[in-house]
Amino acid sequence: IKDFQIELELTETQELVRSTSSIETLIRLREHGFDVAIDDFGKGYSSLSSLHMFPASTFKIDSYFSQQLDEDSNVIHIIEGVIVFAHKQGIKVLFEGIENKTVDQKIRAIDSDYGQGYYYSRPIHQDKILEFYQNNDGYIFKNKKAKLKSVLE
Q: Which residues are catalytic?
A: 96
Angle at which helix 63-71 crosses helix 75-88, to 10 degrees, equals 130
In whole angstroms, what is the distance from residue 50 CA to residue 71 CA?
29
Classify each residue of 1-39 as buried b or exposed e, where b means 16 or more C-beta atoms within 10 Å of its C-beta.
eeeeeeeeebbbeeeebbeeeebeebeebeeeebbbbbb
Q: What size, in residues, is the chain?
A: 153
